[in-house]
Structure 1
Amino acid sequence: MSRAAGQPITEETAYTVSAYWCCVRVISETVGQMPWRIHERTSSGQRVAEYHPADRLVNRIPNREQDAATWRELMLRWVLTWGNAYSEIVRDSSYRPIELWPIEPWRVAPLRADNALWYEVQQADGDPVTLPAADVLHFRGLGDDLVGWSVLRYAARSLGLSMAQEESMAAQQENGAKLSGILRPPGAGSFTREKTDAIAAAWQQQNAGSKNHGRVYLINQGIEFTPLSMPNTDAQLLESRQFSVIDICRFMRVPPHKVFDLTRATFSNITHQSLEFQTDTIGPWIVKLEQQVNRKLISPAAAGRFFSKINANAILRMDPDTRANWYTRLRDLGVFSPNQIAALEDMDTVGADGDVRLVPVNMQTLERAAAPPAPPPHVVPTATDDEDGERADEAADNG
């Protein structure tokens, strides 16, 4: 555990910072909702390999207690918080993967021995068990050659500052926001200790707490209230809190508008920021997940034939007009068939006729367009109908 700004920073206390909590959620839940399938390369392109054992694990049921989306969110939450996420690969007698069981990252220690990578896992009884690297899915963030580093290790100051600001604002609301003035006895007199305590208690009861904010207090017994001029600390605190949100977003590489900070967002740039979220924030995690599954769940002999693929297009739900234009362009290029478009829109297909791909008839290859035109074919002249009639008349006259 580390401390910053007087606050204890742990993996659990960090979740009390709303910006950090939201960053972890937006990344893990976004990846969790994306379709993740195993594909097979074919002579005509590629297709989903539903029969591959790994497809069921990453797409539907990783183990008998979790669904795929929950398992993915857990892996991302762990790697975003602890820097590492692990799942044990359970295999059958034919060495095919049949289950993926999450292992808490604080129980795992990667190590090298005999020129091989192993994972030492602490069990509930305290005895360690060692697993070979081939039987452990290890997702990790930025780190060294063995483990990823916890974001909290470097973001502790920003998180501690944000927690301290929350505590300060809560204390202000509880204690009456700020010292706004001084109560003085009438003239040059003074209060006894008992009367001072009684006046202070009455003032605290009438003014402390957020529910008494702005309330009018009646001063009696000749007491004078002298207001104090104070700097605008409330505005400074809000500005500092906003800076903390931006700073945490930098550590997590999340656009601020994804954590509901729209200070710098405009209608013209928010679309581009959303695309940047997919390419700069989600993209690297997708690659890491795909490559780890390719290494551990697909045998080396089948690596050239099968591969895992996370479909990031599932989160790009454009407006209807833009989506229709996009489908039309890809259909006219022969990329999509009508049935494929219907499937992407979760609509019923139209049968075998909808599998036909269309291309414009007025298109040709670049090579044919650059080639010189072919010479016209040689045509042997033939007699016209008029010439045949004249010959017939001439033959009749000569007859």
Structure 2
Amino acid sequence: MSIFVRLLEAIGIASASAPPIASRPAPVGPIMAYNALDLSDPGLLEMMRDGRIGVSGLSVNERQALRNSTFFRAMNLIAGSIGKLPIHLMRRNGKLTEKASEHPLFNVLHRKPNDYQTASRFKSYMQLAALLDGSAYALKIKSRGAVRQLIPLARRSVKPQLSDDFVLTFRYTRPNGTVVTLQADDVFHFSTPLSLDGLNGVSLLDVAADTLGLTIKAQQAAARLLTKGTMARGALQTEATLGEEAIAHLKQSLAEGYAGANAEHDWLILEEGLKANAFGYNAKDSQLIELMKREAEEVSRFTGAPRPLLMFDETSWGSGVRELGLFLVTYCLMDWFVIWEEAIWMWLLTPEEQKTFYAKFNEGALLRGSLKDQADFFKAALGPNGAWLEPNEVRESFDRNPIEGGEGLPRSGTTAAAIAQADKPDDKEGSENGA
């Protein structure tokens, strides 16, 4: 049987029990597999091996990659952070900005993107798809000119295409195998910050395949050492010949008198001219632990997540949780905030709406810090010298109901300003000295 026939059998067009191709009647219509699957297409090799082959010689797919604790923690940290942070559709009203809660897209982004996912599940899935594959795609369901739902499209089922006259379309392969062309206005999509062709983002699995493959190799070596390797600390050697009874007595003596943690510093009392020879090779000498630590650090560099948040216990936590949150937002998540906000503005709003509407992530949940830090911040925000927050805005940050008189910035002489002024130690001491 030729390799071509085997390939047809693998994709369901031919079978071993079917008559030879030459004896079959000619098909009525074209065989779609020839049109949809080009043998020179790099995607064919990707489909057959289902992974990325690195210097280790292993094919690394997403399931193997997510078994790596560092990689899983980084993906969960980034995708989970994007999922839990709310996205608000905002409107510019002159010099003021406000939440556009009456716009249909506001509910799609903030509450219910479709009939089977919550907003956090949708955002986490799209973010993880972008990290693993380089791009994420969702189908737009419209009604009366507005986007009412966003349906995530299966990973690796969409391929962007740019025509000679620079018209963007998307080649989408449905679950049943049929291929359709989607117009740019039908698809919500975004990619990783890096791209080699301006259309497809760089996949994290592609660039980290070498590191992940070596990590898998190190884990396999450690597993072989623990399951099949020699873990004994040494051997007892003698020139005399020991009988079965003597060997059994020696084993029993070692098990009863020198086993367990309490015998860690005991000395063996040897008979029959026995000599103790320690093995020079052990698990520590193999340097597997050092190799696995090094590869874990390499994985953390690819993801950009802060080392303390990846549970590297030998790293410093800095001066507080707030600083870690600031590091995560500034050097890891900020790029994704901009990508999401620009994609929403470009693909989910009409040209007329783009003049006044925009999307905004609320990253404040990651920057709140401790209760003391929050108290100091809001005290300064309500202070008499240049207040920039209203009392009800502060209460809203803690999910508290507004109070009467809580609108407007505090002014000198008001209750809020007086309380903030009285809480300042320097001012209190100055008033007492002046009295």
Common fold, TM-score beyond 0.5? yes
Q: How many residues align?
A: 345
Aligned to 2:337: 286
Give 1:241 deviation, angstroms: 1.9
**CA distance in structure 2 between the aligned counterparts of 1:135 and 1:212, rounded to whole angstroms:** 67
Superposed counterparts of 1:160-239, under 5 Å: 160-175=213-228, 178=231, 180-182=233-235, 187=239, 226-230=277-281, 233=284, 236-239=287-290
Counterpart of 1:315 (choices 343, 362, 366) is 366
Q: Quote the sequence identity (%).
A: 23
TM-score (norm 2): 0.71
Give 1:278 deviation, angstroms: 0.7
Counterpart of 2:381 (choices 307, 320, 330) is 330
Give 1:134 deviation, angstroms: 1.8
Distance 1:262 1:227, change over 3 A: closer
Distance 1:282 1:235, change over 3 A: farther
Runs of 4+ with deviation above 3 angstroms: 175-184, 188-191, 211-226, 266-274
**CA distance in structure 2 between the aligned counterparts of 1:324 and 1:177, rounded to whole angstroms:** 59
Aligned to 1:382: none
The amino acid of 2:173's aligned partner reads: Q
Cα contact 1:88–1:136 (8 A) shared by 2: yes
Structure 1: gaps (5+ residues): 362-399
Q: Which moved more, 1:106-115 or 1:251-260?
A: 106-115
Aligned to 1:95: 145
| More contact order relative to length (CA 8 Å, sep ≥ 6) | 1
Give 1:274 deviation, angstroms: 3.3
**CA distance in structure 2 between the aligned counterparts of 1:70 and 1:212, rounded to whole angstroms:** 49
Counterpart of 2:208 (choices 155, 163, 176) is 155
Give 1:238 deviation, angstroms: 2.2
Give 1:231 deviation, angstroms: 6.7
Aligned to 1:367: none
Aligned to 1:108: 158
The amino acid of 2:374's aligned partner reads: R
After superposition, the CA RMSD in angstroms is 3.2
Superposed counterparts of 1:11-160, under 5 Å: 11-92=62-143, 94-113=144-163, 114-141=165-192, 142-144=194-196, 145-160=198-213
Give 1:183 deviation, angstroms: 6.4
Give 1:348 deviation, angstroms: 2.0
**CA distance in structure 1 between the aligned counterparts of 2:69 and 2:373, rounded to whole angstroms:** 34
Distance 1:35 1:120, change over 3 A: same
The amino acid of 1:359's aligned partner reads: R
Give 1:347 deviation, angstroms: 1.5
TM-score (norm 1): 0.77
Matched, 1:358 2:385: no
**CA distance in structure 2 between the aligned counterparts of 1:336 and 1:270, rounded to whole angstroms:** 24
Cα contact 1:85–1:140 (8 A) shared by 2: yes
Q: Which moved more, 1:64-73 or 1:36-45?
A: 36-45
**CA distance in structure 2 between the aligned counterparts of 1:319 and 1:9, rounded to whole angstroms:** 40
Query: Which one has the largest radius of gyration?
Result: 1
Give 1:127 deviation, angstroms: 0.9
**CA distance in structure 2 between the aligned counterparts of 1:173 and 1:32, rounded to whole angstroms:** 39
Structure 2: gaps (5+ residues): 1-50, 414-435
Q: Which moved more, 1:37-46 or 1:246-255?
A: 37-46
**CA distance in structure 1 between the aligned counterparts of 2:307 and 2:89, rounded to whole angstroms:** 33
**CA distance in structure 1 between the aligned counterparts of 2:95 and 2:54, rounded to whole angstroms:** 58
Aligned to 2:298: 247
Cα contact 1:338–1:355 (8 A) shared by 2: yes
Cα contact 1:28–1:74 (8 A) shared by 2: yes
Aligned to 2:395: 342
